[in-house]
């Protein structure tokens, strides 16, 4: 492999790196992935909205259809949904590989290869890529580098545009369990600070008798998840005869990056914090951002466009929703379990559930939650709005 063999090097062969690569038509692209296979290890619950599935290019790996959610506070429950199918559950390993196979028709892959960026000698402002592959070091000098290297993006850190001030990294633990006694049509979400203080716990039906039981929080997630499985009445009932068939841990970035482009490097997907702050879903925004990045890189290689245009574009599409989500998350984190119980009670007594069923969009959660909070507590809604405007 020669230094100038590729116009674009993408660091990370996850779904967003692949979608970015597949959308570059005017240049030669290499995708570098540190693992020996695409899609492993698993770090996802695999729940994707209808719109998200379309945005991802209708990949393979669908295992279940979902019509809504049972959402629990400590003592209350809201049932959202009706006959309409709202989301799908995917086997991420199959999905990621399918996306990668489609991408490999136009991009090269280098697996089991770890890539980092470094300043180009002589051209101080530009970066090159150093790849460690099976005991060998390779240096490439592409025109553009894409950091699609996930939640803990070393590319973003090396650029100095990702840090602990502009994003929070949460941890996760998830178990796949078989022989569960579950309503296959609904996901179960638990907002209960006894188990997760900063996020939530879930049970997602995978069809037949399989489920994913998982939890995201700041740390100690495995023990918190075991406590949830042992103590929570709903979980105990669903999982009473179940056994574990898979264990996974992961990281989720929650934040907003003012900069996602520096010199000849762009960040996409989790590396760019393109994740919904209220649910942790990253595939929909990731796919949208990847497509935008691919298009802008194409125009840049043609000589007509500054890479910075990527930032303008993704902000226009979903930047406001991420910002609003972060603001609402800050307010929700201040609520204790009793306040959440009261909010759930108010929602039950209002006609908001009908509104949510008719207009709820899981890809625009922040707008929906803001509407709900404003409806049940005008003062709270106004405080959030005031913060949003500042
Ligand atoms: C527990 C959990 C549950 C989730 N559930 C959902 C869900 O239900 N729905 C949803 O939409 N989203 C969900 N998400 C978020 C979703 O998984 C991510 O947003 C999505 O995977 C982002 O894709 P990506 O391609 O940006 O990053 P990743 O999928 O993380 O891919 C990054 C890739 O880069 C590779 N890599 C990293 N560093 C290097 C390097 N230096 N050199 C080479 N390769 C490198 C990694 O090996 C990896 O393959 C969940 C996340 C977690 C943690």
Task: Band the pLDDT of 361: cuts 50, 70, 90.
Answer: confident
Give yes or no for residue 286 CB within 6 A of ligand 1: yes
123-132, 226-235, 370-379, 381-390 — which one is most confidently predicted on average? Answer: 226-235
Picking from 366, 384, 262, 385, the residue whose alpha carbon sits closest to that of residue 318 is 366
Percent of the chain surpassing pLDDT 70: 96
Say which residue the tokens 């980092």 belong to.
Answer: 116
Q: 47: CA distance to ligand 1 center in Å?
A: 13
Closest Cα to atom 13 of ligand 1? 281
Query: Please, what are the domains in the chain?
Result: 8-38+94-165+256-307 (3.50.50.60), 47-90+169-253 (3.30.9.100), 324-389 (no CATH)
Give yes or no for residue 270 CB within 6 A of ligand 1: yes
What would the two tokens of residue 9 be?
């090097």
For the segment 236-276, what is each residue's pLDDT rounded down to a tens digit?
999 999 999 999 999 999 999 999 999 999 999 999 999 99
Which atom of ligand 1 lies nearest, measured to the CA of 251?
53
Give yes or no for residue 214 CB within 6 A of ligand 1: yes
Q: 151: CA distance to ligand 1 center in Å?
A: 7
pLDDT tops 90 at residue 387: no
Give yes or no for residue 12 CB within 6 A of ligand 1: yes
Give yes or no for residue 172 CB within 6 A of ligand 1: yes
Phi and psi at 380, nearest 5°, equal -65, -45
What was the pLDDT predicted at 385?
56
Q: Choose which residue among 43, 69, 284 to substitute to test ligand 1 binding: the one with the highest number of ligand atoms within 8 A of its C-beta.
A: 43
pTM for this model (two decimals): 0.94
What would the two tokens of residue 290 be?
């990847």
∠231-336-320 over CA atoms, to 5°? 110
Closest Cα to atom 4 of ligand 1? 44
What was the pLDDT predicted at 384?
58
pLDDT, average across residues 164-192: 95
Instruction: Tell me the pLDDT of the chain averaged across its residues.
Output: 93
Q: 5: CA distance to ligand 1 center in Å?
A: 27
Q: Which residues contact 131 (CB under 8 A, 6 or more apart)?
A: 32, 110, 113, 114, 115, 137, 138, 139, 140
What was the pLDDT predicted at 101?
97
For the segment 219-228, what is each residue's pLDDT rounded down to a tens digit?
999 999 999 9
pLDDT, average across residues 319-341: 91
pLDDT, average across residues 137-151: 97
Say which residue the tokens 């039950």 belong to.
Answer: 348
Q: 133: CA distance to ligand 1 center in Å?
A: 21
Give yes or no for residue 55 CB within 6 A of ligand 1: no
Q: Which residues contact 334 (CB under 8 A, 6 or more apart)?
A: none
pLDDT, average across residues 25-37: 96
What was the pLDDT predicted at 91?
95
94-98, 326-330, 379-383 — which one is most confidently predicted on average? Answer: 94-98
pLDDT, average across residues 358-362: 78
pLDDT tops 70 at residue 390: no
Give yes or no for residue 365 CB within 6 A of ligand 1: no
Closest Cα to atom 17 of ligand 1? 44
What is the Cα–Cα distance from 311 to 176, expressed in whole angstroms? 37
pLDDT, average across residues 108-126: 90
pLDDT tops 80 at residue 300: yes
Q: 387: CA distance to ligand 1 center in Å?
A: 30
∠333-69-376 over CA atoms, to 5°? 50
Q: Choose which residue among 280, 286, 325 to substitute to test ligand 1 binding: the one with the highest number of ligand atoms within 8 A of its C-beta.
A: 280
């Amino acid at each position: 492999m020669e230094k100038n063999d590729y116009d674009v090097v993408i660091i990370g062969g996850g779904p967003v790196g692949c979608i970015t690569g597949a959308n570059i038509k005017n240049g030669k692209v290499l995708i570098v992935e540190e693992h020996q296979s695409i899609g492993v290890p698993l770090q996802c619950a695999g729940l994707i909205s209808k719109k998200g599935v379309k945005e991802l290019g209708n990949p393979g790996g669908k295992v279940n259809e979902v019509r809504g959610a049972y959402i629990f506070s400590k003592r209350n429950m809201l049932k959202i949904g009706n006959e309409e199918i709202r989301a799908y559950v995917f086997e991420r390993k199959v999905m990621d590989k399918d996306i990668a196979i489609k991408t490999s028709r136009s991009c090269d892959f280098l697996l089991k290869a770890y890539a980092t960026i470094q300043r180009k000698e002589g051209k101080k402002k530009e970066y090159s890529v150093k790849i460690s592959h099976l005991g060998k070091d390779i240096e490439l000098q592409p025109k553009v580098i894409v950091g699609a290297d996930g939640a803990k993006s070393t590319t973003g850190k090396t650029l100095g545009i990702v840090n602990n001030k502009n994003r929070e990294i949460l941890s996760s633990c998830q178990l796949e369990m078989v022989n569960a006694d579950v309503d296959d049509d609904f996901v179960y979400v638990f907002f209960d600070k006894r188990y997760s203080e900063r996020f939530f716990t879930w049970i997602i039906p995978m069809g037949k008798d399989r489920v994913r039981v998982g939890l995201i929080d700041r740390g100690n997630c495995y023990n918190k998840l075991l406590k949830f499985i042992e103590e929570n009445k709903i979980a105990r009932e669903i999982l009473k005869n179940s056994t574990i068939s898979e264990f996974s841990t992961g990281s989720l970035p929650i934040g907003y990056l003012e900069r996602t482009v520096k010199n000849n490097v762009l960040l996409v997907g989790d590396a760019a914090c393109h994740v919904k702050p209220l649910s942790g879903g990253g595939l929909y925004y990731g796919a949208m951002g990847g497509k935008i990045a691919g298009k802008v890189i194409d125009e840049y290689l043609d000589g007509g466009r500054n890479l910075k245009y990527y930032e303008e574009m993704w902000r226009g599409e979903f930047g406001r929703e991420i910002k609003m989500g972060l603001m609402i998350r800050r307010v929700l984190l201040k609520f204790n379990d009793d306040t959440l119980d009261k909010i759930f009670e108010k929602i039950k007594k209002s006609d908001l559930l009908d509104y949510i069923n008719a207009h709820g969009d899981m890809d625009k959660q922040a707008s929906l939650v803001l509407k709900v909070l404003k409806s049940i507590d005008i003062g709270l809604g106004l405080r959030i709005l005031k913060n949003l405007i500042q």
